[in-house]
Each structure stands twice: as structure tokens, then as C-alpha cells.
Structure 1
């Protein structure tokens, strides 16, 4: 493996910044300062040190985060904290959210640097349902609730969209508490679906993605690595 690539995969440095660090004499290989980015190394045998820290390749990572309110699923810094800012792991910027949650939505957020695994979860053809618990502004009960359940199961026409939503499952757990399972990921889809039903979402929480549910032991802002069995679910 080229030394500049090794640096980019084991530190926050991009390939271009890795080359600058090498040129500045910041990197030692087996005790010797090396400035050539094209030098080939054996990651399992050679010792590379940058900023007095020995470096090692990081394997693929699969994390579950209980996303709290006022946290964004974005790479750029803005008004709110980012999901990656809650993770105390090396090369955190390499991690990507598996589907996004709005800043005012809480719950299950998966993070990974395995692009193929991410695609298997988010690709529409795999149809992994995402399950949300929604608190509604207006009560939805009786015949109105029965009608809403049927509409959701058939597919709703959302404002601005040409195609109706895919069939979904709506379950009421009280006049203002609803559980909605959808297989798509349209922009603000859950909120827009309840808007199409003449209601409004005041709080939204994602409970599960496919067969994987949010760990009940994780408080908002806490995270853990997935088990091998959980990774294999997708």
C-alpha cells in the first residue's frame, strides 16, 4: 500500500494533506523520516508514526446511535452538532449515516464506513421498512383513523410528488400516538404523509430499520458498535 494512502485511511488527512505532511517531514517509517508519498509499506509489519502516534489500519465499522434532538446528519458544520461529533472513534469523518434523520427527529441512526452495507440497507429494492413513532397535533381516532390506515396502506399522494407513496403500515396506539412503517425515504416523508391526512407531526422518533431495533439501553446521544449478528441482518 502506498504511504500516502495509508495515511489517508488511518488519520483525518486527505491524500493531498498526507502528501504535505510527508513533505514537511512529519512522518516516520520504521524510525526514519520519509517524504515520498509513493513509498510502499506493509501495514501489518511496518511502523508508521505521525504526530508521535503509531498508526494502524481501521477495519469496517458499524455503529448504532440514539440520535437526540438538535443533531444533524451532515458532514458540514452548521448551526447544530453533527451526528459524528457524538462518536469518540478514530477517523470519525469517514463514517456516514445510513439514511438521514431531521434535526428535530430522534431515534435509531446507523453509522458505517462500509459503502456496500450502507447501500444494501438504503436501496429501495431491498425494502427494509423504517419504523417511526409519531406524536400528532390532532387526535386521529374512530372512523377517521380507520380511513387513514386504509389510505396509507393504499398509498398517499404527497404534495409536489408525481407518484403516490409505496404501501405502508399505520398503527394507532392512542388518539395522538401513531406508529408508521415505510419502505421509502422521501424528503420529510413521515411528516408529509400525516400532512396529507390533514394532521401534523409534533414529535418523531425512529424505532427500527428492518429487523434491527434501537437498543433500549442507549440514552439519547449514546452509541455502541453493532454485534456480528446485527451486521449480518442486512
Structure 2
């Protein structure tokens, strides 16, 4: 929204009055007078007029080490959720970027910046997501190529993007995928006749789970981590 329209909406002034107020230096944006009426108002800008704050919202970007047993949900009547692990004052404004099912652990992103989180999680963006996987059966030699060729997912009627499998042990691997569809890793292994016993997300793009975070702990993202998604 343009600044002049924002002032009209927030104060009830006419369009002409709003432009005069802006031209007179009475409207401040992020601590500075803003005299350009067509300046675009962003969600996390602080805007005031004559010292009265009209908009002020802090952007939050958190990294959480999700433990097994927690739901990727804002609330649930039966099970604890990942939002139960963060500061109470933050819970009402945060949403989850990149959900994990209850039996999966690892990196979860919590934020109130919807545009930023969509860039991080949108399958079309092809941002790599790396998981540590332990399987029920030995990982067959053809699994690497099957994943590299793509696995057909019948429900979505599509083939996954080429994935990279790095085998660590007979029943253990590191898998990098580029979409993050519903239960994708488990469905990919099921398609090759195997079963995932444990799953842990290590990274999303350039954001890696901080090794100093114990399960259930969180920290704000660094500026460099936030910028890696923009």
C-alpha cells in the first residue's frame, strides 16, 4: 500500500490531507520523516504521525530444534506443539515454516513474515532440504539412482525433483530433496520397498540446525541466515 493511502486508512484524513501531512514532514517512517507520498508501506515498517505510532511490528525469525513427539501446529487439544516451546509472548504471532510430522525431529523455522517463509518452503523455489535418515532395511544400491531420477507420487500426480542420497552406513543416509511435500522422504523410501525408522532435518537452504541447540531449544536467526532466503 502507498503511504498516502495508508495514512487515509489509519487516520480518516482525506487523500488530499494525507498528502499535505506527508509533504509537511509530519509522517515518519522507521525514525525518519518521509515526504514521498507513494513510498510503499511494508509490514514491518514503523510509521508514526505527529508522534503517534500508527504501525509498529517487529519481524521474528526463529530456529527451533524440534523434538520427536511435538506437532507442527499452533495448537492441539491432545499433543504438545512446537509453539509450546517458545516464549509465551511470541506464540500468538508466529507460524511454522516447513512442518515436520510428530515422529520427525530437527530444524523448524518459526516466523511472522509470511512472504519470507513462503520463499523458504514453496516447492517451486527448489530450496534444498537435507535430512538424516535411518531405515528399517539396508539401503539398496539402486536407491541412489531411483531418487536421482525422481519418484512418482500418485496422490499429487507428479514426479519428485532429482534428489541426492549420500549413504552413511548400511541403513543410514543423508538425503537432500528440493520440494518438501507431504511425508515426502518416507514416501520415497516406501516407493523403493524400504521404511524410514527415524528422520531428522538438518538444514533448509543455507540455514543449518545449530548444533548447540538441544531438542526443544531455539534461538533467533542470524542476519546472514535471514538474508540467505531473500
Instruction: Provide TM-score, normalisation by structure 2.
Output: 0.74
Offset of 1:193 from its aligned partner?
0.3
Segments of 4+ in structure 1 off by > 6 A? none
**Which residue is 1:202 aligned to?**
197
Give the structure 1 partner of residue 94 of structure 2. Answer: 95
Partner of 1:128: 127
Partner Cα distance (1:192, 1:201) in 2: 9
CA deviation digits over 1:14-34, x for unaligned, max 9? xxxxxxxxxxxxxxxxxxxxx
What do you get for the CA RMSD once the two structures are aligned?
A: 2.3
The alignment status of 1:218 with 2:217, answered yes or no, reads no
User: SS of the counterpart of 2:83?
Assistant: helix
**Does 1:228 pair with 2:227?**
no
Verify: 1:150 aligned to 2:142, yes or no.
no
Paired with 2:63 and 2:50, the residues of 1 have a C-alpha distance of: 29
| Structure 2 segments unaligned to the other structure (5+ residues) | 1-5, 11-46
Scaled by the length of structure 1, the TM-score of the pair is 0.73
Number of aligned pairs?
185
Cα distance per residue 1:158-201 (max 9 Å; x no partner)? 34342111111111100111111111121111000000010000
Tell me how far 1:232 sits from its aligned partner.
Answer: 0.5
CA-to-aligned-CA distance 1:111-165 (integer Å, 9 cap, x gap): 100111111111223211110111100112xxx32x1101100011234342111
Contact 1:84-1:93 at 8 Å conserved across structures: no
- Residue equivalent to 1:168: 163
Counterpart-to-counterpart distance in 2, 1:44 and 1:98: 37
Task: Measure the CA separation in 2 of the matches of 1:110 and 1:43.
Answer: 34
1:74 to 2:73 alignment: yes
Instruction: Give 1:91 deviation, angstroms.
Output: 3.8
**TM-fit CA distance, 1:202:** 0.7
What is the rounded CA distance, in whole Å, between the counterparts of 1:178 and 1:165 in structure 2? 18
CA deviation after TM superposition for structure 1 residue 45, in Å: 4.8
Residue 192 of structure 1: aligned partner: 187
1:33-88 CA-to-partner distances (Å, cap 9, x unmatched) read xxxxxxxx9599569xxxxxxxx944000000000011111123232111111001
- In the alignment, which residue of structure 2 is the partner of 1:19? none
Q: What is the DSSP-based 3-state SS (H/G/I as helix, E as strand, rest coil) of the residue aligned with 2:76?
A: coil
How is 1:14-163 mapped onto 2 (pairs within 5 angstroms)?
45=51, 57-140=56-139, 144-145=140-141, 147-163=142-158
Distance change (3 Å), C-alpha of 1:42 and 1:190 = same
Q: Secondary structure at the match of 1:118?
A: helix
Q: Distance in 1 between matches of 2:199 and 2:172?
A: 10
SS at match of 2:158: coil
